[in-house]
Structure 1
Amino acid sequence: MIGKAALLETLAGKNRGLLATETQKQAILAAVAQLEDRNPTPRPVEATELLAGNWRLLYTTSEELLGLDRFPFAKLGTIYQCIRPGENKIYNIAEIAGLPYLNGLVSVGARFEPVSERRVTVKFERAIAGVQQWIGYRSPDRFIEEIETGKKFLALDFEIPSADRQGWLDITYLDDTLRIGRGNQGSLFVLTQDR
């Protein structure tokens, strides 16, 4: 049996999936499946105290996220998924390292709705993309506070028509520091949170 520590070791050095070979991806999927079978939180959507916070992406199969690393002069930095269960909101924030003083940021805000004990539907509402310095980005928490005030940023900042971007996410494993999810496009997400 593979445990949490073994999965984390398997993910080390894979740069969220960018550096994983096909053989390594298969080993990761097998390790994830074994851990999902031992999910300590059978009703993860209801475990709001565990869900809340800023989760850092360790690994994904999402081509949409990994594709952010393919822009010229850009290197994918830390990716966060910040969950605010009290407001039913999720903020995806991807930091992008670029030329000096031109570090970027891509963020998508969404509202989620629980539909079962482990599934939420997600409706994307707002996208923001620009240079961190121009946006005034310092941390996920402060950035989210500014979004919540309705601030418009000196960036590409627009509302997403709800019919255009909807999906769902199954939370298949949740404990106090690790979360695993599977999305409607077949993507896998492994995230960690320091508590």
Structure 2
Amino acid sequence: MAVNLVQPSIADSWVNPVICRTMNATKLHGLVSAGICSRTNKSRFIESQVGFRPITITKVTQQNSGLVGDETLAQNKRELYQALQGINRGILGIPSAKKSEIETLVKQLESQNPTPNPTLQLEKVAGCWRLVYSTISILGSKRTKLGLRDFISLDDFSQTIDVAKSKAINVIKFSAKGLSSLNGQLIIEASFKIASTTRVDINLEKSTITPDQLMNLFLKNYDLLLGIFNPEGWLEITYVDDSMRIGRDHRGNLFVLDSRPIWR
């Protein structure tokens, strides 16, 4: 507990309102609620040779905790976004040191989750999200069989959550190198139901690949492709705020998604 002694230059006791405004920040980048400004002022008069002088004693108890927490959370998010730059969501493999760095940063955010019971606030997970990192990996023979080594490239991954219908639609876009007209997508539709305050159970409903030319390219190894991206099972929502969501599934995979219109 810090005690600030303020001796005003005027006769009336006065406390600068900036103190309270500083402690009353509503949100920092839409991340978490800030701490409430509460303070106790006591004025007393001290008798001296020249009379009475007003002294204001302002006790500050935990006012900084919310703001400091917000700043720490924002900094951890910036560090995570920086670590995710240039790794193509990690799906085609990243060095183990980079993977460990990301895991550490993710755990720091999970420990500060501003939404501890996300399934009780499903409006926070509703809408469109884009995958920015996952520990799902397509390596070795899988990558070769799917043509992702030389011929086909992975583009955007998006997920739309419809809370009213308890539906999740995942869209994975592909493009064929050298064939600008051949762009397509794998669409996976799933339903979910609440299993706990942090977990949802997921059931696969259907999947499609469009256009037909892309389906023909994947047809031979379609089960392999679907096996990689099939969301069926359960998902633990370990972090969610206005722009970021983190989850871990029953297979131990980690997912980091972002809801901002443009992410770099």
Aligned to 2:260: 194
Contact kept in structure 2, 1:102 and 1:132, CA below 8 Å? no
**Among 112, 122, 131, the residue aligned to 2:211:** 131
The structural deviation recorded for 1:22 is 1.0
Aligned to 1:51: 125
**Among 235, 242, 247, the residue aligned to 1:181:** 247
Greater Rg, structure 1 or structure 2? Answer: 2
Please state if 1:13 is matched with 2:86.
yes
Relative distance call for 1:69 and 1:185 in structure 2 (3 A) is farther
Paired amino acid for 2:163: P
The structural deviation recorded for 1:75 is 0.7
Please state if 1:74 is matched with 2:152.
yes
Aligned to 1:139: none
State the SS of the aligned residue for 2:196. coil
The structural deviation recorded for 1:184 is 0.8
Paired amino acid for 1:183: D
Q: What do you get for the CA RMSD once the two structures are aligned?
A: 2.9
The structural deviation recorded for 1:85 is 0.8
Contact kept in structure 2, 1:13 and 1:19, CA below 8 Å? no
How many aligned positions are there?
170
Please state if 1:94 is matched with 2:172.
yes
Paired amino acid for 2:77: K
How many angstroms apart in 2 are the aligned matches of 1:132 and 1:28? 37
State the SS of the aligned residue for 2:210. strand
Aligned to 2:26: none
Contact kept in structure 2, 1:52 and 1:83, CA below 8 Å? yes
Aligned to 2:234: 168
State the SS of the aligned residue for 2:82. helix
Paired amino acid for 2:259: Q
How many angstroms apart in 2 are the aligned matches of 1:12 and 1:47? 30
State the SS of the aligned residue for 1:170. strand
| Structure 1 length-normalised TM | 0.78
Aligned to 2:185: 105
State the SS of the aligned residue for 2:160. strand
How many angstroms apart in 1 are the aligned matches of 2:192 and 2:212? 26
5+ residue gaps in structure 2? 1-71, 220-225
| Structure 2 length-normalised TM | 0.58
How many angstroms apart in 1 are the aligned matches of 2:124 and 2:213? 32
Contact kept in structure 2, 1:101 and 1:133, CA below 8 Å? no
Relative distance call for 1:74 and 1:50 in structure 2 (3 A) is same
Contact kept in structure 1, 2:239 and 2:245, CA below 8 Å? yes
State the SS of the aligned residue for 2:115. coil
How many angstroms apart in 2 are the aligned matches of 1:192 and 1:165? 18
Relative distance call for 1:91 and 1:132 in structure 2 (3 A) is farther
The structural deviation recorded for 1:48 is 1.9
State the SS of the aligned residue for 1:70. coil
Contact kept in structure 2, 1:76 and 1:95, CA below 8 Å? yes
How many angstroms apart in 1 are the aligned matches of 2:96 and 2:160? 29
Q: Deviations over 1:90-134 (max 9, x none)?
A: 011001121221112011100001110110000000001122999
State the SS of the aligned residue for 1:100. coil
Contact kept in structure 1, 2:237 and 2:246, CA below 8 Å? yes
Aligned to 1:34: 108
Greater RCO, 1 or 2 (C-alpha within 8 Å, sep 6+): 1
Relative distance call for 1:88 and 1:131 in structure 2 (3 A) is same
Percent identity, aligned pairs only, is: 38
